[in-house]
Amino acid sequence: MHNQRDLPASLDLLRGFEAAARHLSFTRAGAELFLTQSAVSRQVQTLEEQLGIKLFQRRTRALVLTEAGSLYYREVAKALQQLREATASVRAATNPIVRVTTAVTFAALWLVPRLADFQSRFKDVVVHVAADNAILDLERSGLDLAIRYCSAERAGEGAVMLFGEHVTPVCSPTFVRTQGRIRKTEDLLRAPLLHFDDPTGCSPWLAWNVWMETMHLRAPNSLGGLHFSHYDQVIQAAVAGNGLALGRLPLVKSLIEDGRLITPLRGKRYATLTQNRAYWLIVAPAAGKRAEVQTFVRWLREEVAASVRRGALVGE
């Protein structure tokens, strides 16, 4: 027999906690949930009181999960995702649904942050994002469209190019204040760097030694710093002030625009262009006839056009 006291009194408390734990910020969690910073803080405090444990250590200008908080966050995040998927399945029976596949990094850094706008404008359309670095067959996987970073040949006939990609150093404003200004490429040699250890070896342009070679900068045999197996982790570390990262534009552009990241070396000459690759939109032939898919494609191309109009680099 279930005891109602085994669960928090409100799902909102769990949503507030999950967002705060993911961002490690009450302010950013509030912005995501359309709540004030103090409202999210109160939700977490209420949840802590109901559980009888501390989930966060509240430090000056910092929020850190306790050991219990980290464990609870992992389980709550999984449970909320299962609820979202169950809700999407139920809605799909009565609401039109668009199934999108794209790489994990593109989903996390570009697509997902923009979906709130789509949902506010097209409330009747359900979007299901299948983030996967594997190239999925749209028809066999029951998917409607894909956004892929690849060559034109790999994208195939009928694919629509959305935009290309530049790579340039990025860091947080806090990093510059603590480490000193980065005025020239040589300054990078004394700064802690954040590295993406690409497990596939398919993205050499995201390696610091390759970028430095392009800049005609002689890199040392060993570049120190932190290493990550996922690119979005590299960017999270950069936002946290842990070092300099190679930022993929336009993927990190919104983080530059809202001030969480800056480009310490200003100008196009510091932004290397990835050769022979771009972001492509591929729509399954049968899906392209459906009104909800056409609506999503129009919205997506509007977002891309708006991004291009604002320019590739902020502060050029």
**In order along the chain (316 residues), what is the average pLDDT of each group of 10 residues?**
62 91 90 87 93 90 90 91 72 77 92 93 92 82 90 88 91 89 83 85 81 81 78 93 92 90 86 84 90 95 84 46
Q: If you classify domain 95-164+277-309 with CATH, what class do you get?
A: alpha beta
pLDDT for position 120: 93
Fold of 4-87: Arc Repressor Mutant, subunit A (1.10.10)
Q: What is the pLDDT of residue 236?
A: 93
From 119, 56, 138, 128, select the one nearest 92 (Cα to Cα). Answer: 128
Same fold? 95-164+277-309, 166-273: yes
CATH 3.40.50.720 corresponds to the domain 166-273:
no
Distance CA 295, CA 122 (A): 9
End-to-end CA distance of the chain: 63
Please state whether the predicted TM-score (pTM) of the whole model is above 0.85: no
Q: Domain residue spans in the chain? A: 4-87, 95-164+277-309, 166-273
What residues contact residue 120 under an 8 Å CB cut-off, 6+ apart? none
Closest-CA residue to 223 (of 184, 191, 264): 191
